[in-house]
Structure 1
Amino acid sequence: MRLNREVTAMIDLDMLSRGSGFSLHEGTPRLALVHHGFRANQIGFADARQDRFTDRYASLGLLNLARSAQADYESKRIPHRPEFRYFDEDHYADDAHLAEGITEWLRPAEARFVLVSLYSLAFERTAKMLAMLDPTEVCIVIGGAHPTMAPRADFAHVVVRGEGGAALRHILTELLEPSFGQGPEARGICFTRGGESHMSPPAFDRSLATIPAPAFRYDLTRSPDNSVERVRVRWWKSLGSRPQIYICTQSCRSRCSFCSTYIIHGNLVSRPVSLVSADLDYVIDELGHDSIEFHDDDLLQHDELDDLLDCLGARGVPWSCNARAEFMDSEIAGKLYRAGCRKVFLGIESLNQRTLDYYRKGTTVEMNQNAVRALDTVGIGVVCGFIIGAPHDTVDSIVSDIDRVLELPIVFLSSAILTPDIGTAEFSRAKKRIPLLNSLGDEGTRMNIRPRPDLFGTETPYGLPTVCEAVSKKQLNELYALANCSFFLKASSVARIARLTPADRMEEAEAWCSVQLERARELAESAELDVVRARAAELLAARI
């Protein structure tokens, strides 16, 4: 059944009530966990040649929800044991086949749910895919960073803002009842019923600190023959042949202007080390993974950091993490290395103090430089986050910042253009100067904002404007490409990459550098900015 859903309102829950194919109280509920959106990624939009180098891994948010519901059944907080299946778009030829697979698996159940973590870049794609499902028979629930910031979606019955454990419990016990949407467990749940919209602020909880081990249902992502699925991490993060992603903290103690993590997750929550240890028993001993990639915003913020490092050191497996420069020194770097850490992503962002202050980084140029050198000295490879395009930036200031960053002893330069992501302080700042941003939502509402490539183009940032006043979006993309080419065509960078990249990923690393060489040739020939053409030509000449 295909319905016209072009109106702004969410799918009315009365559609499920009036339909004959959905019942929450009959038998075992089935929940399809849908990982959708990695085929729409910014690196691919910026340069399709780079798309093959992107990550492929499961959604920890969805795997945590599955574990949370399982624990709720075991503690008798929900009446039926839910059945879960994980649907990854990579396993299907296209979205039509994905929707067909979801529908086929859900059909035998009376209570059918689709849970999707929605990415901003995939907004339109996900909407079209979910429109292939019958809204009278399947309850569509979306969550994630984008819905938390802009919860009104006309292709879902329920939107969950913030953490979803308590919300899912409420859905599985109260959906379609008069009590649905009421009480503390309903916080974060948005829906329409009988034509009336119900909006709720984001929900924050501390479930990561209490949920029994394992915290994530990694088993749901295993292949049909029950072998361990290979997680594809980027070559510059790779440390083993069977890596796995993991988090043990929630939210971030910092308040950078371009980030919405703290808005989505509230205050910091740390998973006790005793539970982390049990999680690692499961991931390493039972599932056979040989390296861990921590996706915490800042692993150093864990409440029991020393005990956590002791726990990781005892495991003897290599791992990587994200950290903040202001908390890094030679002592911390040494502790990380001895505990098995081999790569760290540092959000340096800039070596211009005015820019750091604008980003609200809470760091100084000296802190950034010292943090990188401390990690490099002990043998930890540094992936350096670098952002260009602040409102005050000029072509000269960006080129100068690139030159300063190129002096750092890093293994990878992760460049980006400042994006006014929905819900961030940067977005609020940009709206005051760019009236067209009000067109991202119907009639200027902030509740259903989404990227608009028809207005702002597909160059980075996809479907959003840049905020730099003196440099155009096209020129920023040229400078972004120049930063990458300048780093990856540099002899010292190539040497460090060769030293810190696993042998089985070196071919991929060399292919990445070859893409940057091709891009340098293109810049030398056709870049709009004179300095970019000249710099690219110098890079090419140096290789002769």
Structure 2
Amino acid sequence: MIDLSVLRNSGKFAIAGGRPRLALVHHGFRTTELELIDGRKTRFSARYASLGLLNLARSLQVDFENGRIPYEPELKYFDEDSYDDDDELLRAVVEWLRPAPARFVLAGVYTLAVERTAALLSKLDPTDVCIVVGGAHPTVAPRIDYAHIVVRGEGGVPLRHLLTRLFDASFGDGPDARGICYQLDGHLHVSAPAFDSSLATIPAPAFAYDLSQSRSDFINRPQDRWWKATGKHPQIYVCTQSCRARCTFCSTYLIHGRLVSRPVALIAQDLDFIIDEHGHDSLQFFDDDLLQHDELDALMELLQRRRIAWSCNARAEFMTPERARQMFGAGCKKVFLGVESFDQRSLDYYRKGTTVEMNRQAIHALDDAGIAVVCGYIIGAPHDTLDSILADIDRMLELPIFFLSGSILTPDIGSVEFLRARKTIPALRLLGDGGSDFNLKPRPELFGAGPPYGLPTVCTSLSKAELNELYELAECSFFLRESTAERVTRLSPPDQLELIAEWFQWNTARAEKLAQTARLDIVRERAAAVLSGQPHRPASQVPAVSPLPAAFELGA
């Protein structure tokens, strides 16, 4: 970390000199392997503000109202989507910060964008601006060299400590300092993550949406991916914190700690703000699992009264036909269901706590209720083979799924999967500078830029390139079939069909490339069959009749 002494001794930064300015910088979220490798156009991407930054802003507003910080901070939200490039973004940040006696830049760091965000922040003058980073990546990999402060876990209380105690003799001491990592006068301080339950108590609105959008600023208006869209003016929202599950590929619980639910009475006030003040007609719950809310029945009743369309994430084991019908009646249109696999061995390896039958029943329950199922699906477990993956793809194709969200098992930094992989893949130690745990980040120069970006795969019988072929085959086999086209047409708003047509065209091009260039013979054969309209699939399935349904031909 940048030693705080360079800021303290510069004579240009005065924490007690008046109202501080905090620039909330949302950067790098859309730099993913999908854009780098798959070549998806940006119009397929989502555009949302950072709820983490907006919650921090709201926490600071409440802290000042309650007398917990001496000065009312000036806050401004900067989103990379509003600027032509990082240089323009940086100039805007620096120009806005300049008049304040104490200037802070707060940025969330995402694993797939570490290098870009590090390059951006490294252009700031560390003697003039206090650089603070947080989020998922710094929580699990806090040793970095491009910030003064790293906040691990929840940031509200640590940020309050920073604004009231920075350069004081008590800085870094006490329970409020938990989560703050820094270096001062050559001494490194690394703290455990900070957890809190403020989501359950912070006054409405829980997020400072006003900072991120206006009725006239269309660049900063939220935008959904077409497969998650439920309305024309969406907004994102979270009413639970953390996840009760402990899947091996996920690190959510390491960042947020124990489950916290926001009371429905406060959610009602949040919705008044989102719907009535800002005019949003749809909501996307970003909770890891909305069904874990402590007052779920009351929440469903509230959503039904508000008559707003919404989507959410959920786990299969808690989905029943009755629950699915209740959700549909409350306005639910789409559910991301993290089933991951239809192979029990893989589910057990991922510590999902589910069975294949639970997954099937959950998908059928949602589809029968009229809710579109976005299916989270993973291949590439250590025990996977060519035959086992092909068999699992066939099982997936039998089910009434609206959208397939496929991926290859990733040993994400900090997760159980990462710790497992370090025991069998010594090269993972090269993710940090000089083989250390300093500046941990994906290394595409070592492990390739294909998914998982800059990281190795863990499957022992198939290479990363072969897994990518199978991943693409699964998606092309799913999308280029008549049953998918029928379901997508039926469950999508008419104004999305032109964009969806481009998606199907893009998948046709993917299948054509696989049929011509795939290394695996079976992938070439199956891709060619998909394009001919007669893909291999179990006898129980209705055969596809067209590689690109007429409804999704451009110009149709």
Question: Could you say which TM-score interval applies, normalised by the shorter chain?
Answer: over 0.9
Distance of 2:207 and 2:248 partners within structure 1: 30
Return the match for 1:151 from 139, 142, 155: 142
Q: What CA distance in whole angstroms lies between the structure 2 residues aligned with 1:177 and 1:109?
A: 20
Please state if 1:126 is matched with 2:117. yes
Contact 2:251 2:415 in 1 (8 A): yes
Q: Could you tell me how far apart the structure 2 residues matched to 1:442 and 1:179 are? A: 32
**Aligned partners of 1:488 and 1:513 also within 8 Å:** yes
Structure 1 residues 44 and 227: alpha-carbon distance in aligned structure 2, compared to 1, 3 A threshold: closer
- Is this contact kept in 1: 2:28–2:110, CA < 8 A? yes
Deviations 1:170-212 (A, max 9, x none): 0111111111111100000000000110000001000100111
For 1:122 and 1:472, how far apart are their aligned partners in 2? 25
Whichever residue aligns with residue 321 of structure 1, its letter is: C
Does the residue aligned with 2:303 lie in a helix, a strand or coil?
A: helix
Q: Distance in 1 between the 2:512 and 2:266 partners?
A: 51
Percent of aligned pairs with the same residue? 62
The aligned residue for residue 166 of structure 1 is 157
Q: Secondary structure at the match of 1:176?
A: coil
Q: Does the CA-based 8 Å contact 1:147-1:161 persist in structure 2?
A: yes
1:456 equivalent in structure 2: 447
Residue 361 of structure 2 is aligned to residue 370 of structure 1: yes
Shift of 1:131: 1.1
CA distance in 2, matches of 1:51, 1:522: 21
| 1:77 is the counterpart of 2:60 | no
Residues 50 and 515, structure 1, Cα contact 8 Å, conserved in 2: no
Contact 1:32 1:106 in 2 (8 A): yes
Q: Return the alpha-carbon distance in structure 2 between the equivalents of residues 406 and 46 of structure 1.
A: 25
CA distance in 2, matches of 1:84, 1:226: 18
Residue 110 (structure 1) aligns with = 101
* Paired residue type of 1:300: L
Give the number of aligned pairs. Answer: 535
Match of 1:264 in 2: 255
- Contact persistence 1:228–1:288 (CA under 8 A): no
1:521 and 2:512 equivalent? Answer: yes
Q: Which one-letter code corresponds to 1:523 in the other structure?
A: L
- Return the alpha-carbon distance in structure 2 between the equivalents of residues 49 and 312 of structure 1: 34
**Are 2:186 and 1:195 aligned?**
yes
Deviation at 1:229, TM superposition (A): 4.3
> Which residue does the alignment assign to 2:280?
289
Query: In the alignment, which residue of structure 2 is the partner of 1:46?
Result: 37
Indicate how the Cα distance of structure 1 residues 51 and 416 shifts in structure 2: closer, same or farther if over 3 A, else same: farther
1:331 pairs with 2:322 = yes
Give the match for residue 66 of structure 1.
Answer: 57
In the alignment, the residues of structure 2 paired with residue 400 and residue 277 of structure 1 have an alpha-carbon distance, to the nearest angstrom, of 46
Distance 2:30 2:99 in 1: 30
- Whole-Å separation in 2 of the counterparts to 1:261 and 1:429: 17
Partner SS, residue 49 of structure 1: coil
- Could you tell me which residue of structure 1 aligns to residue 551 of structure 2? none
In structure 2, the residue matched to 1:355 is: 346
**In structure 1, C-alpha distance between the alignment counterparts of 2:405 and 2:251, rounded to whole Å:** 19
1: CA distance between counterparts of 2:40 and 2:411? 25
Q: What is the CA distance between 1:46 and its match in structure 2? A: 2.7
Shift of 1:52: 3.6
Letter of the 1:256 counterpart: C
Query: Could you tell me how far 1:329 is from its partner in structure 2?
Result: 0.7
CA deviation digits over 1:110-137, x for unaligned, max 9? 1100000000111011111011111101
Q: Of 78, 89, 93, which residue of structure 2 is paired with 1:98?
A: 89
CA distance in 1 between counterparts of 2:29 and 2:322 reads 38
Q: TM-score, normalised by structure 1?
A: 0.97
Q: Give yes or no for the alignment of 1:500 onto 2:491.
A: yes
1:512 pairs with 2:508: no
Uncovered stretches (5+) of structure 1, i.e. residues with no partner? 1-9
Write out per-residue CA displacement over residues 414-451 of structure 1, whole angstroms, 9 at most, x where no aligned residue. Answer: 00000000111100110000000011113443353111
Looking at structure 2, the residues matched to 49 and 297 of structure 1 have their Cα atoms a distance apart, in angstroms, of 25
Give distance in 2, aligned partners of 1:358 and 1:202. 27
Write the distance in 1 (CA, Å) between the matches of 2:527 and 2:62: 56
Corresponding position: 1:186 with 2:177: yes
Amino acid in the other structure paired with 2:392? D
CA-CA distance at 1:226 after TM superposition? 6.3
Q: Shift in Å at residue 223 of structure 1?
A: 4.1
Kept in 1, the 8 Å contact 2:118–2:146? The answer is yes
TM-score, normalisation: structure 2: 0.95
Partner of 2:22: 31
2:85 matches 1:88: no
Distance 2:438 2:40 in 1: 35
Shift of 1:45: 2.1
Choose which of 237, 241, 263 in structure 2 pairs with 1:250. 241
- Paired letter, 2:235: Q
**Would the alpha carbon gap of residues 233 and 313 (structure 1) be closer, same or farther in structure 2, given more than 3 Å must change?**
same
Q: 2:423 and 2:311 mapped to 1: Cα distance?
A: 39
Q: Give CA-to-partner distance per residue, 1:242-300, whole Å, 9 cap, x none.
A: 00000000000001010000111111000000000000000000010000000000000
Between the aligned partners of 1:133 and 1:505, the Cα distance in structure 2 is 41
Report the secondary structure of 1:85's partner residue. Answer: strand
Aligned to 1:477: 468
Change (3 A) 1:492 1:455: same
What is the one-letter code of the residue matched to 2:462?
V
Separation in structure 2 between the aligned mates of residue 369 and residue 88 of structure 1, nearest angstrom = 40
State the SS of the aligned residue for 1:423.
Answer: coil
Name the CA distance, whole Å, in 2 between partners of 1:227 and 1:384: 30
Matches within 5 A, 1:385-534: 385-446=376-437, 448-534=439-525
CA shift, 1:510, in A, is 1.1
For 1:174 and 1:160, the matched residues in 2 are separated by: 15
SS in 1 for 2:374: strand
Maintained 8 Å contact 2:154/2:196:
yes
Q: Distance in 2 between the 1:226 and 1:349 partners? A: 38
Once residues 294 and 451 of structure 2 are traced to their aligned partners in structure 1, the CA distance between those partners, rounded to angstroms, is 36
CA distance in 2: counterparts of 1:307 and 1:154, whole angstroms: 47
Deviations 1:5-43 (A, max 9, x none): xxxxx1010011111211111121100000000341121
Specify the SS of the correspondent of 2:40: helix
Q: CA RMSD in A?
A: 1.2
Name whichever of 91-100 and 488-497 sits farther off: 91-100
Counterpart AA for 2:255: I
Q: Distance in 1 between matches of 2:454 and 2:45?
A: 20
Q: Does the residue aligned with 1:387 lie in a helix, a strand or coil? A: strand
Query: Does structure 2 conserve the Cα–Cα contact (< 8 Å) formed by 1:45 and 1:460?
Result: no
**Do the aligned partners of residues 409 and 74 (structure 1) sit closer, same or farther apart at CA in structure 2, a change above 3 Å counting?**
same
Q: Secondary structure at the match of 1:446?
A: coil
1:345 aligns with 2:336: yes
Cα distance, 1:506 vs. partner?
A: 1.2
Q: Distance in 1 between matches of 2:42 and 2:349?
A: 31
- The aligned residue for residue 379 of structure 1 is 370
Secondary structure class of the residue paired with 1:470: coil
For 1:459 and 1:228, locate their aligned partners in 2 and report how far apart those are by CA, in whole Å.
30
Secondary structure, in 3 states, of the residue corresponding to 1:180?
coil
| Matches of 1:224 and 1:317, distance apart in 2 | 19
- Range with greater deviation from structure 2 (91-100 or 218-227): 218-227
Q: Which residue of 1 aligns with 2:133?
A: 142
Shift of residue 472, structure 1, vs aligned partner: 0.4
